[in-house]
Amino acid sequence: MRIVKVAVEKTVYHFDKDFDYAVPDALVSRAMPGCRVRIPFGTANRVCQGMILSVRDAEGDAKIKFLQAVLDEAPLLSDEMLFMVPWLKERYFCTLFDAVKLLLPAGLTYRVRKLYTLAAGVTKEQILSLPADERNAVLPLLQKPQQERNALLREAGLPPDAEVLERLCKKEILHCTADTVRRVGDASQKMVRLCSSLPEPLKLTPRQREVFKVLQDAGCASVKEVCYFTGVTPAVIKNMTKHGVCETYEQETYRTPYLDAETSETGLQEPISLSSEQHIAYEHLYESYQTGKASVSLLYGVTGSGKTNVYLCLIDKVLADGRNVILMVPEISLTPQSVRIFQRRYGRRVAVFHSGLSVGERMDEWKRVKRGEAAVVVGTRSAVFAPLPHLGLVIVDEEQESTYQSESSPRYHAKEVAWFRCRYHKALLLLASATPCVETYYAARTGKIGLEILEHRYGEAKLPQVCICDMNRELQDGNTTMLSRPLLEALHENLRQKRQSILLLNRRGYNTFASCPDCGYVMTCPNCSISLTYHAANHRLMCHYCGYSVPFTAECPSCHSRHMRYAGAGTQRAEEQLQEMLPQARILRLDADAAMRRYAYEEKLHQFAEGAYDLIVGTQMVAKGLDFENVTVVGVLSADQSLYSDDFRSTERTFDLLTQVIGRAGRGRFCGRAFLQTFTPENPVFALAARQDYPSFYEQELPLRKVMLYPPFSDLCVVGFVSAEERAAREGSIQFLRSLQEAAQKMYRQLPLRVLNPSPARIYRAGGKYRYKLLLKCRNSTLFRQMLAQLLSEFAKSRIGKAVTAFADINPENIL
C-alpha cells in the first residue's frame, strides 16, 4: 500500500506531527510530495486540507484513513522546500502546515467549504413540521438546492457558530458534502487564432479580411489586441468563429506589478564603473561565490558609498552562471526604487515579492518564479521563500532592520532562512549596511563571516556636515516651535536655492497625548495600555495598536470639565507648523496615514523626485534607502525619542536611525547638511552618528553587551503569555517558570541558562489581551529548542494552558 506523510491544517502545536494516510489506487500516480490533498481528520473525520511531505510503500493497516482527493496537478514544493518545512517547525515552534503556508502565496491556497442539500425523499410537509430555527435553515434550499454553510446560515438569520445544520444532518433532513476551492483564480484573456482547416470557398467581408490578415501575420493574438489594431468590434470575431474561420480560447496571463510597456525581456546591461575600494570588495565577494561553498559576508559601507553597484556586478556574474538571485529590502516603500533599478538592467527576469501587492499579483509573481520565467527576485522578507531552483546569491540590504523578523507565528527571521537556503544551494549570503547590527559586525570582526569595507562615498559626493541643536537652549531663548533656529534658516536657504529637504519625526498623528489638568484623567485605549493619539485629518483619537478610535472631544470623560489638554507632536502637527513657518514651501507628509492607498509610496516619492515638492516630513520610512540628488538638508525633529526605551537595543537603533537619515543628504554633486535636535546633546551617540563612525560606536557598545550578557555573547529568548484575564497570564508565566526550573535541573543540566523572573510586557494589555513575559539568556542550540518545545507542549495540555496562549521567540527584534 502507498502511504503518505501529511502536514494537516488547523492542528494545535502540542498535537502536531506528520500524519499517515493511505492512497487509493486511483490517486497513486498523482499523490506526490509537494502536492496538497483533501483528507478526513480527527474522530469526527472533519474534512481538511494537507500537504504531502513524503511517500513510502508499507503494509496495509485497517485503522489508517485514505486520502479523499489530490488538489494539485503537479508538486508545488521542491525537495528544498519540503526539507525546509520540518526545519521551520523545529526552529520557530510552529505547526508543519503553518510552515507550509509560509512557502505558498495566499492566493494559491485552498479553503474547505461545506455544501448542504436536502436529503433524498424529504418532503415539504416534513420541513414545515420542524422547529422554527431548523425550518428557517432548510427553507432557503427549496429556492436554491445547494448552498454553502455561511450563506445558508446568513439567509436563515442564524449566527455563524449555530449548530442547527449539524443537527439536521443527524436527522437525515440535510446532506453535507465538502469541497475545496481556490481563494483566487488564475487571470486569463480571450485569445483568437485561425482554424487549421478553413472553409471553402472563403468568403470574407472587408473588416473580416483585416482580421484574417492580422491573424495570418501574428499566428494568434488576444481579442482585445485584434480589435485595437483593426478597429473592429468583438462581434466581427464572433461571427468569423461561428463560420469556422477562427477559434477562440482562454490563455493564462500574469497580474504583474511595476512592469511598464517599455521594459525589455533582457534589460540593458550597461557597464558599471567601480571605484578602487568597490572593485576590491567586488573581487573578494566574487571569489567567495566561486568557491562553490556556502558562505556569508558583510558589506559594510558608509551611506552613499555605492553598495548597489557592487550588488549589480555580482548579480551579473551569478546570472551568467545560470543561477538565481534574491535581493531583500526592509520596507515596502523602498521596493519600487529597487525594482526600477533592477528592471532597467535585467528586464522581465525580475519578480517582485511584498505584502503591498494584491493577492492575485503575489500569486502570479510566484508562478513566474516557479516556472523559471524570472531569475531575480526583489522584495521584503517574504521574498526569501521565492521558489528559485538554482539559488546563487542572496543579498540582505540594510540587514540590521527589525522588519526582517516576523512578529506573528511563525516568528521566522529572514536572515536565518536565507542562510538555510544558501547552505542548501552552496550559495553566497551577502549582508549589507552602513549600520550593521552588533551581532553581525561582531561575527565579521571575529572572522566567523567575511568583511568588506567601503569607507568613502562614491564619486564626488561628500558626507554631510552635521549640527547638533540643543533644544534646551532654544526653549531658554523663547523658541517653542518644533524647529530649531539653525534648521529653520537652513530650510529657508534651501528653498531659495531650489533644493529639497527631508525632516524625520518618528511619530504619526497630530497630538500624542491627551489629559485633563483638573482631575488627571488620561485618554487611553480601552483595549490596550497606551494613550490615544489625536489625528487632525479625521478629528479622532486613535490607538496605534488595535485601531480603536473615538471622536475628538474637549470634555473630560471623567470629570466633564472642558479643559482637556492635548500635548506631544506627530507628523500631522509638524506639517501644520511647517506650513505656517514656510508658507511658500510645497510640503509632502509621508507616513502610514498619508500613504494608505495602494502604490501611494511610489507615487509620492516619484513626485518628490520630479520636483513637485520642496520638503518631506515623515516617519522612519523617509530615513532609509532614499536616494535624491537634490536633497541637501536633513533634520531630525526629536532625536531623543528612541534613545531611552527599556530595550537593550535602544542605543543601537537610535544610532542606526540617525546615521541613516543623515546619509540622505548630499548624495549627489551638492554638499549636504544635517540637523539633530535633542534635549541631551551630551549623549555620545549623537557625535558618533554625526561622524558616521560605526566602528567607534561598536567599540563603545560591545563592553556593555558583554557585562550584561546580551547578544552577541548570548542568545535571548522571550516566552510570551497572552490571556483575556490578567491573573491567568500572570499565573501561566509563573507555572511555566516552575516547569522550566524542574526540566533544567533534572534533564537539561548541561544547558547554560540565566532566567529573569516573569514580568508584565512593556505594553501589558493589547487588543483586549493581557501579556506577560519570561526572559531567558541562553545558547540557541538544538537541545535548548528541544527543551523549549517540550515545555510549550506540556503547558498547552495543562489546565491553565486552556486560558493562556504561550509562545517562544528567540532573539526577537522587539522584546514583548
Give SS3 for 169. Answer: helix
422 is in an annotated binding site: no
Query: Which grid cell sits at 428?
Result: 553566497
48 is in an annotated binding site: no
Phi-psi region of 692 (alpha: psi -120 to 50; beta: other; left: phi over 0): left
What does the alpha-carbon distance between residue 204 and residue 215 come to, in Å, rounded to a whole number? 14
Task: For 731-759, give the DSSP string.
Answer: HHHHHHHHHHHHHHHHT-TTS--EEEEEE
Residues in contact with 444: Cβ distance below 8 Å, sequence separation at least 6, in sequence order: 297, 298, 300, 436, 450, 451
Q: What is the DSSP letter of 25?
A: G
Beta bridge partners of 465: 673
What does the alpha-carbon distance between residue 410 and residue 255 come to, in Å, rounded to a whole number? 28
The residue with cell 463560420 is 243
What does the alpha-carbon distance between residue 101 and residue 108 come to, in Å, rounded to a whole number? 10
528 is in an annotated binding site: yes
Residues in contact with 634: Cβ distance below 8 Å, sequence separation at least 6, in sequence order: 464, 501, 502, 503, 504, 661, 662, 664, 665, 672, 673, 674, 675
Residue 793 near residue 14 (C-beta atoms within 8 A): yes
Give SS3 for 384. Answer: helix
What does the alpha-carbon distance between residue 59 and residue 690 come to, in Å, rounded to a whole number? 71
What does the alpha-carbon distance between residue 38 and residue 75 come to, in Å, rounded to a whole number? 15
Beta bridge partners of 807: 720
Residue 336 near residue 602 (C-beta atoms within 8 A): yes
556 is in an annotated binding site: yes
Query: Which grid cell sits at 488?
Result: 529653520
Q: What is the DSSP letter of 464?
A: P
The residue with cell 540617525 is 658
What does the alpha-carbon distance between residue 46 and residue 729 come to, in Å, rounded to a whole number? 32
What does the alpha-carbon distance between residue 28 and residue 25 come to, in Å, rounded to a whole number? 5
Residue 658 near residue 623 (C-beta atoms within 8 A): no
Residues in contact with 369: Cβ distance below 8 Å, sequence separation at least 6, in sequence order: 351, 377, 386, 387, 388
Angle 85-90-92 from CA coordinates, rounded to 5°: 90
Give the burial string for 175-190 (b: 16+ CB within 10 Å, else e): eeebebeeebebeeee
Query: Which grid cell sits at 52?
Result: 504531502
Closest CA to 675 of 510, 490, 472, 808: 490
φ and ψ at 811, to 5 degrees? Answer: 50, 55
What does the alpha-carbon distance between residue 480 and residue 474 come to, in Å, rounded to a whole number? 7
The residue with cell 536616494 is 627
Beta bridge partners of 533: 542
754-766 vs 769-778, strand pairing mode: antiparallel
525 is in an annotated binding site: yes
The residue with cell 545560470 is 322
The residue with cell 548630499 is 666
What does the alpha-carbon distance between residue 579 and residue 577 come to, in Å, rounded to a whole number? 5
Residue 326 near residue 384 (C-beta atoms within 8 A): yes
Task: Return the H-helix or E-strand segment holding 610.
Answer: none
* Binding-site positions: 516, 519, 525, 528, 543, 546, 556, 559
Binding-site annotation: residue ranges for Zn(2+): 516, 519, 525, 528, 543, 546, 556, 559
